[in-house]
Structure 1
Amino acid sequence: MLINTAGGITGGDDMRINAVVGIDAALTLTTQTAERAYRAQPGEVGQLRTKLTVAAGGHVNWLPQETILFQSCALSRRLDVDLAPDASALLVEPLIFGRMAMGEVVTQGLFHDHISIRRDGQMLYRDGLRFNGNMQAQLDRPHVAAGARAMATLIYVAPDAPGQLAPLRRLLPDKAGASVIGDDLLLLRLLATDAHDLRLSLIPVLNRLTRDTLPRCWMI
């Protein structure tokens, strides 16, 4: 379990996480609570870099709880995963744009997110997300989030990924979708009204993919 003793990230912060999973080993990483991206001073951007390396026969579960973006936040985040040819991984990144229950809105902020997965040195998956300015207005656009204030990206790399597609689709709400890319990579996107609705949809998926070993801190 990872703990940020600062309680959040703001402009000028630089945080690095580096984890290595050995041969035939398994590692689950989560966070004690939601991460928070707080208001930053102009021109200052917080940095969060995570590097996961998984050796032959190994498996990693990267299961951080939500990242909450606050008004005037500035955060650049990167997740890099290096897999051996027969290693596997489950990765999830939930994201909350202000806490609706607290009446929070994010009309100004910056958030850059980048995910890359390599297998045996070759690029397997690459993704990016960028918000700059009025996040609420961008999320209200029908082809961005249609008013949703919470989202998650889930990536599952394992030999049984194709077999998980149909069962997972049955668990998903209308504002979600899942696809298999290549032979063994499953990608899932999920939109939700708020953090609570996001968890209601995401937890059954994570329980299935972790074989009911989801860390207790995730439970509602």
Structure 2
Amino acid sequence: MGGVTMSGVRATARIVARADGRGGTSLPVLEGEGPLALRRTRGSGSEARVMLVGAMSGPLGGDRFGVGAEVEDGARLRVGSAAATIALPGQAKGEARYDVRLRVADGGELQWLPEQLISAGGSDLRVTTRVEVGARGRLVLREEQVLGRVGEEPGRLSSRLVVRVGGRAVLDQELGCGPGAAGGWDGPAVLGGHRAVGQLVVVRPEFGARPVAARVLGEGAVLVPLAGPAVLVSAVAENGLRLRRVLDEALSGLG
């Protein structure tokens, strides 16, 4: 259960998507609390759509947020958010945490497309995203982080993304930015002065038989195949708008 404590807010949200036997997708579990409210929106064909709303004023220092989604065999789910998530400083001491856990069964499909995460000055946030995809599952996952609001230095942001496909780890990467992060995070080998960074992970069974070749997608963006039926697009940009454009073009290019 969620609530407010001396050390911050605790809140969780959970989604389960299941094939309804009529060519569509049902949502037998759609539970959110506090700043993590969930709303079902109009779907398309066999796809169910869910919007995460109400998380516009947090997480603050000391908060603990957790979101989980499970897509069963034959189900299709698309999850977005109504607005950007802004990490802000809070009265409680210590870092805030935002944990995301996703599971896609064989024959399931998940599009995880939240709006951008903005690291405001003075904030301290650790984000961890762990994804399990079945060998025949399908995934599109987008992560976008913007360091600071306009004219503002960023807070401290630590982000880890772990993806496993068919029980095998295909990606485990971590990035730390802002005050207190390891030296060089803003240097030419990492962000190179850019203030927006993003990843796009696409898992499709057909990539196993027809691997996608690595290629540069333009200034600050590259596509690389992973050790499995998956590809990773990594990009940096001067702002969130440009970052979104690059990632959208990369996804369109994959067909």
TM-score interval w.r.t. the shorter chain? 0.7 to 0.9
| From 173, 176, 181, the counterpart of 2:221 | 176
Given the alignment of the two structures, is residue 156 of structure 1 paired with residue 182 of structure 2, yes or no? no
Unmatched tracts of structure 1, length 5 or more? 212-220
Tell me how large the CA RMSD over aligned residues is.
2.4
Larger relative contact order (Cα-Cα within 8 Å, sequence gap ≥ 6): 1
Go from structure 1 to structure 2 and tell me whether the alpha carbon gap of 1:69 and 1:179 turns closer, same or farther (over 3 Å shift).
same
In our comparison, the structure showing a higher alpha carbon Rg is: 2
User: Could you say which residue in structure 2 is the equivalent of 1:33?
Assistant: 83
Go from structure 1 to structure 2 and tell me whether the alpha carbon gap of 1:200 and 1:123 turns closer, same or farther (over 3 Å shift).
closer
| From 126, 140, 151, the counterpart of 1:76 | 126
Once the two structures are overlaid, the 10-residue window that deviates more, 114-123 or 60-69, is 114-123
In structure 2, how many angstroms separate the alpha carbons of the residues matched to 1:146 and 1:72? 22
- 8 Å contact kept, 2:165–2:228: no
Given the alignment of the two structures, is residue 92 of structure 1 paired with residue 142 of structure 2, yes or no? yes
Go from structure 1 to structure 2 and tell me whether the alpha carbon gap of 1:180 and 1:97 turns closer, same or farther (over 3 Å shift).
same
**CA shift for structure 1 position 88:** 1.7
| From 197, 203, 209, the counterpart of 2:248 | 203
User: What is the identity percentage for the equivalent residue pairs of Structure 1 and Structure 2?
Assistant: 27
Once the two structures are overlaid, the 10-residue window that deviates more, 74-83 or 137-146, is 137-146
Q: Say which structure is richer in helix.
A: 1
The amino acid across from 1:124 in the alignment is V
User: Could you say which residue in structure 2 is the equivalent of 1:44?
Assistant: 94
User: Could you say which residue in structure 1 is the equivalent of 2:44?
Assistant: none
- 8 Å contact kept, 1:16–1:50: yes
**CA shift for structure 1 position 81:** 1.0
- 1:104-147 deviation line (CA, Å, top 9, x unaligned): 222xx321111112234332321111235167x95541112111
**CA shift for structure 1 position 169:** 4.8
The amino acid across from 2:125 in the alignment is L
In structure 2, how many angstroms separate the alpha carbons of the residues matched to 1:84 and 1:200? 29
The amino acid across from 1:16 in the alignment is G
Local SS of the residue matching 2:62: coil
Local SS of the residue matching 2:218: coil
User: Could you say which residue in structure 2 is the equivalent of 1:20?
Assistant: 70
Go from structure 1 to structure 2 and tell me whether the alpha carbon gap of 1:157 and 1:164 turns closer, same or farther (over 3 Å shift).
same
**CA shift for structure 1 position 208:** 4.9
User: How many residue pairs align between the two structures?
Assistant: 203
- 8 Å contact kept, 2:105–2:137: yes
User: Could you say which residue in structure 2 is the equivalent of 1:126?
Assistant: 172
The amino acid across from 1:152 in the alignment is G
In structure 2, how many angstroms separate the alpha carbons of the residues matched to 1:105 and 1:145? 14
